[in-house]
């Protein structure tokens, strides 16, 4: 649309020079943040989207719908309005994220073409009498390919989950990662567990050199058919105990489908934080508090970190609202240390009803690699 026409339609319109390079850099920074917080496979979907493969990562956030709400809500609190969709294929999520009636949409698993049928089509197709995607599904491909080229059929097949659409995951330059390639593909659970132990030991050594502890670990297994099997675990506190991390990863070996064999395994610490060494104190007078972080990690990786919490006081005149849920391992001093200088009540967590409400933007999901995409 010409600028003059846009100014005539909207009074007081604010104009800015386009900066595609700057937009791409900002989108990549956002993708790296999502990589650390939500899913192990994330890619930029230019010009305005982010693709997220949620396979075996959504359980850490309470499921697909809860993960979608958390992501969109975090973006809203940061001032970014997002539309989001979760679907069985990248192409379907791409379409639903941008054209679904709801700003945040979760398609049922195995939805097929029905969920896409009502979405609009481009102007060139409307000239031929096609109004919705459903009008195209039952049409013969040869005339459409002759008129519009092979791209139309390819994109339609990808949206329906009939054609592969691989995701090339984004990796930061300073990512701590350990890799192991195999001369012969492996498939036995015992072999996978042994390799996991080796990778964890190497990664913990790299973390120790930098004085860091792992908060998120992503295990990627590349199969001989070029499919990825993904395992993500999280920890409540920074950890570099090889035995503990190995156990958390091995507990999820049963979710790995090796197919005809795995030819490459990589383990990456997508989120690492400074590791503060603690000194054990022996006292004959006071009993030392037990370390329950290991138990919290085991439970949280099974049922999700949102399901493991403790109660903390909240500043409220209503007794029913005087407590809130906080992460199980959040130290009490962290709650008491947040002050705005107006009084002791400002140190308490803010009640949820006092927080800004969410506006929405986009995410999506797909089959066998189960994927999701956030479009900006």
Number of folded domains that form the chain: 3
Does any domain span residue 16?
no
Do 123 and 242 lie in a common domain? Answer: no
Cα separation, 275 vs 211, whole angstroms: 6
Q: Give the position of tokens 């943040």.
A: 33
Does any domain span residue 325?
yes
pLDDT of residue 250 exceeding 80, the answer is yes
Do 202 and 267 lie in a common domain? Answer: yes
pLDDT band at 372 (very low <50, low <70, confident <90, very high): very low
pLDDT band at 162 (very low <50, low <70, confident <90, very high): confident
Q: What is the pLDDT of residue 376?
A: 41
Q: Concatenated DSSP letters for 108-132?
A: PTT-GGGGGTTSB--HHHHTTT--B
pLDDT of residue 353 exceeding 80, the answer is no
Which domain CATH number covers 190? 3.30.1490.100
Q: Based on the number of CB atoms within 10 Å of its own CB, is 102 exposed (0-12), middle (13-18) or buried (19 or more)?
A: exposed
Do 37 and 127 lie in a common domain? Answer: yes
Do 107 and 37 lie in a common domain? Answer: yes
Q: Which residues pair with 262 in a beta bridge?
A: 186, 223
Do 73 and 94 lie in a common domain? Answer: yes
Do 338 and 239 lie in a common domain? Answer: no
Do 182 and 149 lie in a common domain? Answer: no
Does any domain span residue 142?
yes
Give the CB-side neighbour count of residue 138, counting CA atoms within 13 A: 6
In tens, the pLDDT along 36-75 reads 888 888 999 888 899 998 887 887 888 888 888 889 889 9
Q: What is the pLDDT of residue 321?
A: 85
Do 58 and 155 lie in a common domain? Answer: yes
Do 212 and 313 lie in a common domain? Answer: no
Q: In residues, how long is the chain?
A: 376
Do 31 and 145 lie in a common domain? Answer: yes
| CA neighbor of 217 nearest in space, from 191, 252, 263 | 252
pLDDT of residue 370 exceeding 50, the answer is no
Do 30 and 130 lie in a common domain? Answer: yes
Does any domain span residue 289?
no
Contact between 273 and 28 under an 8 Å Cβ cutoff? The reply is no
3-class secondary structure for 25-54?
HHHHHHHHHHHHHCCCEEEEECCCEEEEEC
Write down which residue in 220, 248, 274 finishes a domain. Answer: 274
Write down which residue in 146, 167, 188 finishes a domain. Answer: 167
Q: Based on the number of CB atoms within 10 Å of its own CB, is 59 exposed (0-12), middle (13-18) or buried (19 or more)?
A: buried
| CA neighbor of 95 nearest in space, from 69, 67, 116 | 116
Q: What is the pLDDT of residue 304?
A: 84
Which residue range forms the structural domain that includes residue 333? Answer: 308-349
Does any domain span residue 355?
no
In tens, the pLDDT along 163-200 reads 878 888 888 888 999 999 999 999 999 999 999 999 99
Write down which residue in 253, 274, 295 finishes a domain. Answer: 274
Does any domain span residue 123?
yes
In what side-by-side order are the strands of the sheet with 104-106?
Answer: 41-45, 49-53, 372-375, 83-86, 104-106
Do 218 and 250 lie in a common domain? Answer: yes
Does any domain span residue 185?
yes
Does any domain span residue 282?
no
């Amino acid at each position: 649309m010409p600028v003059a026409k846009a100014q005539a339609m909207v009074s007081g319109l604010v104009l800015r020079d386009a900066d595609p390079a700057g937009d791409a850099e900002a989108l990549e920074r956002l993708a790296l943040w999502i990589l650390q917080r939500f899913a192990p496979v994330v890619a930029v979907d230019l010009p305005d989207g982010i693709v997220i493969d949620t396979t075996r990562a959504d359980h850490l956030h309470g499921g697909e719908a809860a993960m979608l709400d958390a992501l969109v809500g975090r973006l809203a609190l940061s001032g970014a309005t997002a539309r989001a969709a979760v679907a069985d294929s990248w192409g379907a999520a791409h379409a639903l994220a941008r054209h679904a009636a709801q700003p945040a949409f979760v398609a049922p698993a195995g939805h097929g073409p029905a969920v896409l049928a009502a979405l609009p089509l481009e102007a060139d197709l409307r000239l031929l009498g096609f109004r919705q995607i459903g009008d195209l599904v039952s049409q013969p491909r040869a005339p459409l390919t002759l008129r519009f080229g092979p791209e139309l059929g390819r994109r339609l097949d990808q949206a329906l989950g009939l054609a592969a659409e691989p995701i090339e995951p984004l990796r930061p330059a300073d990512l701590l990662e350990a890799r192991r390639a195999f001369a012969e593909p492996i498939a036995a659970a015992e072999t996978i567990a042994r390799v996991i132990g080796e990778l964890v030991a190497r990664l913990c050594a790299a973390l120790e050199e930098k004085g860091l502890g792992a908060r998120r670990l992503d295990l990627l297994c590349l199969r001989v058919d070029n499919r990825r099997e993904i395992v993500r675990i999280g920890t409540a506190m920074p950890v570099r105990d090889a035995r503990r991390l190995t156990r958390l990863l091995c507990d999820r070996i049963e979710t790995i489908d090796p197919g005809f064999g795995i030819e490459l395994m990589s383990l990456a610490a997508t989120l690492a934080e400074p590791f503060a060494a603690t000194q054990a104190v022996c006292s004959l007078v006071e009993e030392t508090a037990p370390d329950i972080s290991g138990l919290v990690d085991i439970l949280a990786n099974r049922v999700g970190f949102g399901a493991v919490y403790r109660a903390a006081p909240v500043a409220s005149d209503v007794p029913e609202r005087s407590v809130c849920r906080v992460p199980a391992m959040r130290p009490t001093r962290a709650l008491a240390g947040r002050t705005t200088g107006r009084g002791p009540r400002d140190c308490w967590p803010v009640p949820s009803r006092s927080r800004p409400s969410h506006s929405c933007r986009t995410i999506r999901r797909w089959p066998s690699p189960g994927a999701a995409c956030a479009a900006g």
